[in-house]
Each structure stands twice: as structure tokens, then as C-alpha cells.
Chain A
Amino acid sequence: MSGFSPFLKKEFFELYRRRRLLLFSILFVFFGILAPASAKLTPALFKLMSEDFRQQGITIGEVTVSAYNSWEQFFGNLSLQLIVFVVVFSGSVTNEFESSSIVPLLAKGLSRTSLILSKLCCGLCVWTLGYWLSFSVCLGYTRYYWDSSTVPGLYKAALLWWLFSAAVVCVMFLFSCVVRTSVQVMLCTGAAVIVPYLLSAVKPAKRFLPTSLIDAMPLCSNAKNVSEIAPAVIITAVTVLACILLCPFLIRKKSV
């Protein structure tokens, strides 16, 4: 696995130089603030619209929000953050092969295993740091405004959402080793999320599907226990490991 460490450094330097790190940091902080902001503004917005509703015969009582609503917004917005991440990183491997910019490095002895593992490691690190940055910002604001007793299972819900997102990132890199363009990577990754999501409509299958990990609010309020979705947790963790192990094999067959 020659060249892993230098190539990883090069990847991070490239992200820094192209200001992607700054871009993602600001984006994740923004979404971290947006969730408690939306929750805090909800009663004021309802008050603002109450006259319109009254004219239609709908009466709205006093709307109260809590930490629960803030986290509901946060977990709702996370899928958008993950989509932006996948869109930006989908070309990470395919663009190098399409433009043949990787050829000189491969000719100088960089192994394909190092190439894909350093790209995967870099992608996972950026996503993980961004995810927990966004979580920390949201946590700070939510604690400032509300009492956190309505979300006793917050940390386990956040951890399971992270596990799901890590699996999506790994699957994205797995497809990067197989298909040719970034658009194909995006479509395949999207399909890999949508198919289990649709299948989760079948109740007996739900506890086995990774998408049940993103149903965060029942976990937050302790209405659902982790043991109920234990098979899904194991399957998601196995998916992450399988992708990490399969990527080096698949990238060897990729033509430049």
C-alpha cells in the first residue's frame, strides 16, 4: 500500500487549497444554526399566519416548541447536507480517471489501493467532522434556548444517523470504483438509498434496513429502543466494512 500517507496529505491539502474545507465548515455551521432557528421562529410564524387560518375557519391555539422540535428540524435537514456532500464528492475518484490526471502518479508507483483508501478516508473524515460540527452548533443553541429533557436518547440517535451517513459515503466510493462518471455515481448512490427507503414500507423488513437508522425522533424520545433495530445497525456496519474491503479490489479493474 505504497503512497497512502502522502496521497492522503495531498487530498487534504487540495481540499484546503480549493477552499472546500472552508466551504463545508460554513455550510455545516449554517445548518447547525438553522434547526434551532426554525424551531424558535415557529410560534411567531404561526401567530403571523393565524389571521389567514382564521378566515379559512381554522383556529390555531398557542404553539409551544421544545428541544424536541429543534432536533426534529436538525435531523430533517441532515439529508440535505448529505445530498450536497455526495454531489460535491461524487467526482472525487471518477474525475481523476476521466481526465487521466492520476496516470503520472500511478506510473510513479502509487498503488490503486492507496489511492482509493486515501480518498475514502479523506471523504469520511470531512463528513464526520462536518457532521459533529453541525451537531455541536445545534446542541449549543438548543441548550441555550430549551431544556434538553425532552430528548433523552439524543446521542444514540445522532450516532446511528452518523453510521447511516458513513455507509452512504462508503457506498458512494464503492460506486466510484465501478462506474465512469460522477453523474452515474450520484444516481447509483441515490438508488442505493431510495430502494431500501421504499422497501421500509414493508413492516417486517423495516428492522433490517439501514434507512430505519435515520428515523431519529422515536430514538431521541426513547419511544423506540436500539435493540428493536439492532439487525439494521449490524447490516449498516457490515456495509461500511464491506465497502472498505471491496473498494481496493474493484479499483484495480477500473480502466484509465
Chain B
Amino acid sequence: MNILAEINNFEDLKEYLPFLIPLAVIQLGFMIAALVSIFKHHKYKTGNRVLWVILSLCLSIIGPVLYFALGKTDEED
């Protein structure tokens, strides 16, 4: 099964763009922001660096949200 070939067969990719673009921006933006913050800090409120990197990479949007809410310290960057 060739996924790319199937995607090319989509009736009109333009139809999907109104939600694909914001979803991708939010998801990637959150993940990059979380990873930058994780590597900038050495101390976390809960957990450790490895845990937060894995969660941020694997749990789509929930991982970064949990990091910012429960892992990141309140000190300024």
C-alpha cells in the first residue's frame, strides 16, 4: 500500500488545508516549545528530563501541555 499515492488521489487536498494547517502548527509549535524549555532547564517540578522528552515526543499535544503545567518550573527562562 503506497500511502503517498493514495494521498495524491485525494479529491482535493485544498479541502483539508483549513484544519490541517492549524493542527500542524499547534502540534509542532507546542512540541518544539516544550523541547526547547526542557533542554533550557535543569530542574523540573516533577519528573526528569528523559521522561518529559519522551512524553513531549510521543503524546502528541497532551505531552507538551502536561510538561508546561506540571513539569516546568515557574522561574523565568
Residues of A within 8 A of B16 (CB): 37, 40-41
Residues of B within 8 A of A37 (CB): 16, 19-20, 23
Q: Is A12 an interface residue (CB 8 A)?
A: no
Residues of B within 8 A of A141 (CB): 18-19
Given contacts A41-B16, A48-B6, contact A26 B26 (CB under 8 A): yes
Among candidates A34, A44, A51, residue contacting B23 with C-beta atoms closer than 8 Å? A34
| B30 & A88 in contact (Cβ 8 Å cutoff) | no
Chain A's closest residue to B19 (CB) is A37
Residues of A within 8 A of B69 (CB): 20, 23, 87-88
What 0/1 readout, one digit per residue, does chain B (9-43) give for beta carbons within 8 Å of chain A?
A: 01000011011101100110010000000000000
Q: Is A188 an interface residue (CB 8 A)?
A: no
CB distance from A90 to the nearest CB of B (A): 10
| B19 & A84 in contact (Cβ 8 Å cutoff) | no
Residues of B within 8 A of A33 (CB): 19, 22-23, 26
B-side binding surface: helix, strand, loop or mixed?
Answer: helix
Residues of B within 8 A of A20 (CB): 69
A-side binding surface: helix, strand, loop or mixed?
Answer: helix
Q: Is B62 an interface residue (CB 8 A)?
A: yes
Chain B's closest residue to A140 (CB) is B18
| B68 & A144 in contact (Cβ 8 Å cutoff) | no
| B23 & A27 in contact (Cβ 8 Å cutoff) | no
Q: Is A52 an interface residue (CB 8 A)?
A: yes
Q: Is A36 an interface residue (CB 8 A)?
A: yes
Please measure, in the bound complex, the distance between the C-alpha atom of A84 and the C-alpha atom of B16, giving whole angstroms: 28
Question: 9 tightest A-B contacts by CB?
Answer: A37-B19, A88-B69, A30-B26, A48-B6, A33-B19, A23-B68, A27-B65, A51-B1, A30-B61
Which residues from chain A sit less than 8 Å from chain B, CB to CB?
A: 18-20, 23, 26-27, 29-30, 33-34, 36-37, 40-41, 44, 47-48, 51-52, 80, 84, 87-88, 141, 144
